[in-house]
Amino acid sequence: MANLTRIKILTTGSTTTAPSNLKTGELAYSYVAGTQSNNGDRLYVGTGTETNGIAASVDLIGGKYFTGLLDHVHGTATANSAVILDGNLHIDQINIGTLALESSGGSGQTVNSIVTDTTLSGVADTDLVTALAVKTYIDTNITAQDLDFTGDSGTGAVDLDSQSLAISGDTGITTTASGQTITIDLDDTAVTPGSYGSQTAIPTFTVDQQGRLTAAGTVAVATSLTVDGDSGTGDVDLLTDDLQILGTANEIETVSSKTGTDVQVQIGLPTNVTIAGELDVDVIDVATSAALASATVEDLTDNRVVIAGTGGELEDDANFTFDGTELAVGVDKFTVQAADGATVIDGDLTVNGSNINLGNGLSDNVIISGNLTVQGTTTTVESTTITIDDPVIALADNTTSNTSDGLDRGVRFKWGTGSAVATGFFGFDIQTERFVFTKDETVTSDDFSSPWSDVEFGDVYATGADIGNIQIGITGDNEIDTTTGGLTIDSATGETTVDDNLTVTGDLDVTGTVTLTNDLAVIHGGTGVSSFTGDAVIISNGAGTALSYLTSSLGTVGDIVQFNASGVPVVSNIIDGGTY
C-alpha cells in the first residue's frame, strides 16, 4: 500500500471562498498565512449527498487560524484574539466603541462608578447616572423655568409650571386651539367667490381697512361701428363681429395684414382676370399667358396655318395650309429638323415603298427603341460586327408542334480552306439528338449529316470514344464513377500501382494478405507499435498516436498509477490529494 497519504491543499495565493471540489468525507487544508478574511490556515471537509462526484456542502472544521486565537492568558483581554474568562468568570477590560470598561487608562472612555444621586453633585466623565436619578433631576429643575416673549409692541412671560400662553385674533382673524395645535384663520367676507369681468364687462371692488374685498361686481361695456357701401349699410359689433372687405371672383382681390398696431387692407386685380362680357381693344399685349374662350383676328385668311411673325404678331402664309383633312407645305419636299437633330413622332408611322432607307449607311447610326419585329422569309445583315446583349439566342422559337420537322438547329458558317469556300455547321442534330460539328458539307436544306468533324474542348481532344457507363468529373471534380454497376480496374500484369496516398471512404474488402512495411498507426485502427513491453501498464503516448508503457521504477510493493499535476499518468507510492 502507499507509504504516504496527503489531503487536498492550497499552497499559493489566497482565497476568500472555501474549496468547491470536495467529495463527501474528503479533507482539504489551506496553509496560506491565515487572516480574518482570506480563509488561510483552515481545515475543510465535504458533507452531504454527492452530485456528479461533488459533496453538497463544504464545512469549516478547524485549523491553525482558530487555535491561534486561543493562545493567551485566561481573563486577560488580548487584541485580535478570542475572549477567555478566568476561574472567577472575570476579564480585566473590554472596550465598546469609545466606552472602555477597565480599571484606568485605555483608548476609550473609562467608567469607574454608577451614580444614583438625584442632585448629580460632583459627577465626573468616569461616572454613569441611573435613569431615575436623571428623571428626578429634570422634574425638580423644570418647574423653575419661564417662557419670555415679545410682540410688535409690549412683552410678556409665561410660567411653564402653572400658566398657559393665549394667542388671540384681531379684526377678521380667528384662532382655534386643539391638543398641541393652534389654527389661525382669516374670516370670510360677504363677497361671493368667483371670476369678475369679461370682454363685455369691467369688474368693480370695495376694499376695507384691513385690505379685504367686502363687495365685488361688474359694469357692462358695449359699442358698434356703422359701415356704408355704394349700396346698403350695416353695424359692426366691435366685441363680437368681424368686418370683412371682399372682392369678386377673378376680378378684384383683397389682402389683409397687420404690422404692429396698423391693420392694412390691399385691394387690386388678380394675376388672371376673367371678363364675362366682351372686351374690345386695339392691341392686346400679354406678358405671360391669357385664356380666351374665342377671338377674331380680321386680317387672317381661311385654311391657312397661323404662325408668329415679326414682333410676335399673328400672320399666315399661302404655302402652309390645312383644310381640316390634309396639311400642305408649299410645292417642294417636307423637311423636319429639330434643334438637336432629332425628330419625334408619337403614334404609329406607316412608310410604303419598295426600298426604305434609314440614314446614311456609311456615317449614320439608326437606333430603334423598343422591340423590332421583321416579317418576311429572309433577313440579311451585311455588317462586319454584330453585338447582342441577350445571353441566350432562341432558334426555331416559333415551333409549336411536338412532331419533328427533320431540321437541325444551330449555326451555319462559311470559311476559306485555302482552295475553296466551305460551309460548316455546329449545333443540334435532329436525328441523333446530339450536339454535332461539321467543317465542310454541301447542303441543300437545314438537315446536316455525318461524317462529323473533330472537336476540342479545353484539354480534351476527342476523335471518337465509347466510354460506356463510366463518368469522369461529372458527379464531382477529380471523381470517376459509373452510371450503373460497379467500377473495375484491371491490368494486363495483374497489378495496379497507386503512386500517391489512397483514401477509402467506404468498406475495404481484402481477399489476399496485407503486408505493411511500417506499423499501422492508431489513427488507422492500429496500435502504432510492433511489440509490447512485459509486466507493464499500457497507456497512450502524449500525442495519442501510439501506445506507451508504465513500469514500477520504485520496485516496492504498493506502487500505484495516478496522474501528476500535468495530467500525465505516473507510478508513485504516495497518494496526493492535490490542490484546490
The pLDDT tens digits of the residues spanning 190-221 come to 888 888 888 778 888 888 888 888 888 888 77
Give the residue numbers spanning the domain of 109: 94-142
Mean pLDDT across 296-318: 80
Is the predicted pLDDT of residue 35 greater than 50, yes or no? yes
Nearest residue to 417 (alpha-carbon basis) of 440, 384, 444, 451: 440
**What is the rounded distance in angstroms from the CA atom of residue 576 to the CA atom of residue 8?**
7
Quickly state the pLDDT bin for 47 (edges 50, 70, 90). Answer: very high
- Say whether both 455 and 421 belong to one domain: yes
Average pLDDT of every residue of the chain: 79
Q: What is the mean pLDDT of residues 181-191?
A: 86
Domain identity same for 8 and 52 = yes
- The listed range with the strongest mean pLDDT (56-60, 122-126, 373-377, 396-400) is 56-60
- Is the pLDDT score of 259 beyond 80? yes
What is the mean pLDDT of the segment spanning 462-466? Answer: 56
Cell of 446: 437545314
**pLDDT mean over 127-147:** 80
Least confident of 405-409, 437-441, 461-465, 479-483: 461-465
Same domain? For 11 and 60 the reply is yes
Query: What is the secondary structure of 311-326 as a DSSP string?
Result: GG-EEEEEEEEE-SS-
Specify the 3-state DSSP secondary structure of 522. helix
Residue 433 lies in a domain: yes
Average of per-residue pLDDT across 5-28: 74
Spell out a b/e string for 41-80, using b for 16 or more CB atoms within 10 Å of the CB, else e: bbbbbbeeeeeeeebeebeeeebbbeeebeeeeeeeeeee
What are 434's three cell numbers?
Answer: 446530339
Q: What is the mean pLDDT of residues 492-514?
A: 79
Q: What is the pLDDT at residue 389?
A: 83
C-alpha distances in angstroms, 243 versus 156, 232, 234, 251? 72, 15, 10, 21
DSSP state of 505: -
pLDDT at 579: 62
* Range name among 37-51, 328-342, 477-491, 523-537 with the lowest pLDDT average: 328-342
Question: Rounded mean pLDDT of 96-102?
Answer: 67
Decide if 62 is inside a domain. yes
Q: Of 463, 481, 509, which one is at a domain's C-terminal end? A: 463
Highest mean pLDDT out of 10-14, 31-35, 556-560: 31-35
Averaged pLDDT for residues 486-491: 80
What's the pLDDT at 453? 79
CA distance 134 to 124: 14
Specify the pLDDT at position 273. Answer: 76
Choice between 185 and 460, residue whose per-residue pLDDT is larger? 185
d(CA 205, CA 213): 7
Is position 61 within any domain? Answer: yes
Does residue 103 sit in the same domain as residue 64? no
- Phi/psi at 224 (5° precision): -145, 160
pLDDT at 562: 79
Give the mean pLDDT of 100-126. 73
Model confidence at 529: pLDDT above 80: no
- List, for residues 349-406, the tens digit of each pLDDT value: 777 767 777 766 667 778 887 788 887 777 777 777 888 888 878 888 888 888 888 8
Establish if 165 belongs to a structural domain: no
pLDDT of residue 419: 92
Residue 468 has pLDDT above 70, yes or no: no
pLDDT over 60 at 2, yes or no: no
Average pLDDT estimate for 222-232: 80
Q: Is the pLDDT of residue 106 over 60?
A: no
Task: Look at residue 391 and tell me if it is in a domain.
Answer: no
**In a domain? residue 432:** yes
In a domain, 548, yes or no: yes
The total of structural domains in the chain comes to: 4
pLDDT at 462 (0 to 100): 61
**CB-based contacts of 330, cutoff 8 Å, min separation 6:** 319, 320
Cα 63 to the center of its chain, rounded Å: 56
Is 469 a residue whose pLDDT tops 80?
Answer: no
CB-based contact 65:71 (threshold 8 Å): no
The answer, yes or no, to whether residue 555 has pLDDT greater than 70, is no
> Is the domain of 100 the same as that of 136?
yes
Phi, psi of 253 (to 5 degrees): -130, 150
22-26, 151-155, 273-277, 389-393: least confident range: 273-277
Last residue of a domain, one of 142, 161, 179: 142
Strands 470-472 and 27-30: unpaired
State percent of the chain over pLDDT 90: 2
Residues 63 and 105 in one domain: no
Q: What is the mean predicted confidence (pLDDT) over 104-123?
A: 73
pLDDT of residue 80: 84
Task: State yes or no: pLDDT of 561 exceeds 50.
Answer: yes
Q: How confident is the model at residue 491 (pLDDT cuts 50, 70, 90)?
A: confident
Q: Is residue 152 part of a domain?
A: no
The pLDDT of residue 1 is above 50:
no
Cell numbers given for 317:
402664309
Q: Reply yes or no on whether the pLDDT at 177 is more than 80.
A: yes
